[in-house]
Amino acid sequence: MGDYSKDFLITLYKMMVRIRVFEQKAEELFLQGKLPGFIHLYIGEEAIATGAISNLRKDDYITSTHRGHAHMLSKGASMDRMMAELYGKKTGYCKGKGGSMHIADVSIGVLGANGEVGGGLPIAVGAAMAIKMQKKDSVVITFFGDGASNRGSFHESLNWASVYKLPVIFLCENNQFASTARVQETTSVENISDRAVGYNMKGVTIDGNDVLLVYETVKEAVDRARNGGGPTLIEAKTYRLKGHFVGDPVLYRDQKEVEGFWKKEPIGRFENYLFENGFMSEHQKKKIWDDFLDEVNNAVKFAEESEYPLPEEALTDLFEDDTGYDY
C-alpha cells in the first residue's frame, strides 16, 4: 500500500459513505412508493467508483451504467439534483426526462448513465477519439458490468481503442450477476480481464472491494492513457449485495451467500483499516455519516418541494433548434 495522507484516505472513505447513504435512502424511498420507475443500487460496489474516479480531473470523462448513481456522485454531482431526477422533478439533472437510468451531467464529464447494457463503451471510445484528434490530454473511464463484457459493443470498443491507442480505461465492475444470471454460467472466461490479450492491451483483475487497490490500479492505467500509452482493461471483482433492481424477488441465489459477502463489503473493510492505523476515530466516523444523512435528507426535501415538469415540457429538448418537431 502506498504512502497516503490521512486527508486523502478520509476523502476516499467519505466518497464511499456518501454513495452508500444516497443508495440506502433511494432504496427506502422506492419501497415507500415515492420514486417512479426502477432503480438499481450500487451497495457493496462503492470502492470501484470511488477508487477509480478519484484519479480523474474535471476535464476527464466517464460513461456510466444503469447502476450509475455512484459514478455521478463521485464525479461531483449534487445529491439535490440527483434525487430530484429520481423523483421525476423539473429540477433534476435531466428535468425529469431521464430518471435514474439515464442520468447525465455533460458539464462535469458524465456522458450518461445508460439503459442499454454495454451502451456506454462506444460513446467512451468516441470521446477518446475527440480527445486525441484535438490533441488534449484528457482520459475516459467507461464503467460496465460483467454482463456487458458479453456484448458485441465490448469487442468492437476494445479492438477499436487498441488500434487507435485511445486514452480509455475499460473498467469492468464484475458484481457476479448479469441481472439474474450468474457470471460463471454466462461467460467463457474466469477472469474477464483475460480477454484483454485478444486486444493487445494490458488486462488486470483486482479485488474491487479494496478501495486503495482500485485507486492504484486505475492510477497506473490513467497515467498510461494520459501519456499516449493507450487503453487498459481492468476487472474489479465485487458482489452485488442487493437485487438487480429494488423489488427484485432474487430467486437465483441463496441469502446465506449474500450474508457471507456482507462481511467483505468495502466500507466496513476500509473503516477497519482507518481505525487500526489511527486515521479515524469513532467520533469522526459518526460525524461523517451524520453529515451525509443531513445532505441526503436535504436532497429529499429539495426533491419533494420541487415542481413536476408541466406535461407539455415533454415536447422540448429533442433538438437544439426548433425545427424538426412536427407535432
Partner 1 sequence: MREITFAEALGEAILEEMEKDPTIFTYGEDIAKQGGIFGQYKSLLGKFKDRVIDTPISEEVIYGSALGAALAGARPVVEFHFADFIFTGITSIVNQIMKFKHMTGGQGKIRVVLRGPDGIAQSAAAQHSESIETIFMYIPGIKVVVPSTPYDMKGLLKTALRSDDPVIVFEHKMLYKIKGPVPEEEYLIPFGKADIKREGKDVTVVTTSRMVHESLKASEELQKEGISVEVIDLRTLIPWDKEVVLKSVKKTHHLVIAHETWKRAGWGAEIAATVQEEAFDYLDAPILRVGAKNVHISFSPPLQNYIVPDYKSVIDTVRRVLNV
Report the interface residues with partner 1, using CB under 8 A: 61, 63, 92-98, 102-107, 111-112, 114-116, 119, 121-131, 133-134, 138, 140, 152-153, 156-157, 159-160, 163, 316-321, 323-326
Q: Is the Cβ of residue 157 or residue 205 nearer to partner 1 in the bound state?
A: 157
Output the smallest distance, CB 129 to partner 1, in A: 5
List % helix, strand, coil for the chain (3-state, nearest 5): 50, 10, 40
Q: Is the Cβ of residue 13 or residue 61 nearer to partner 1 in the bound state?
A: 61
Output the smallest distance, CB 244 to partner 1, in A: 20
CA distance linking residue 37 with residue 205, whole number of Å: 34
Output the smallest distance, CB 91 to partner 1, in A: 10
Output the smallest distance, CB 92 to partner 1, in A: 7
Q: Helix H segments across 175-309?
A: 183-186, 211-226, 255-262, 266-276, 282-305
Output the smallest distance, CB 15 to partner 1, in A: 24
Output the smallest distance, CB 63 to partner 1, in A: 7
Q: Is the Cβ of residue 205 or residue 306 nearer to partner 1 in the bound state?
A: 306
CA distance linking residue 91 with residue 15, whole number of Å: 24
Length of the chain as a residue count: 327
Q: If 0-12 CB within 10 Å is exposed, 13-18 middle and 19+ buried, where does residue 107 land?
A: exposed
Q: Is the Cβ of residue 151 or residue 253 nearer to partner 1 in the bound state?
A: 151
Output the smallest distance, CB 152 to partner 1, in A: 6
Q: Is the Cβ of residue 67 or residue 95 nearer to partner 1 in the bound state?
A: 95
Q: Is the Cβ of residue 12 or residue 121 nearer to partner 1 in the bound state?
A: 121
Identity of residue 287: K
- CA separation (Å) from 316 to 83, 88, 95, 98, 106? 22, 16, 10, 13, 18
Q: Is the Cβ of residue 277 or residue 316 nearer to partner 1 in the bound state?
A: 316
Identify the three-state secondary structure at position 56.
coil
Identify the three-state secondary structure at position 210.
coil
DSSP class per residue in 111-139: ----SSTT-HHHHHHHHHHHHHHTT----
Output the smallest distance, CB 31 to partner 1, in A: 26
Q: If we measure between CA atoms, which residue out of 61, 60, 25 comes closest to residue 42? A: 25
Q: Which three cell numbers mark 189?
A: 472466461
Q: Is the Cβ of residue 118 or residue 243 nearer to partner 1 in the bound state?
A: 118
**β 177-178/181-182 pair status:** antiparallel
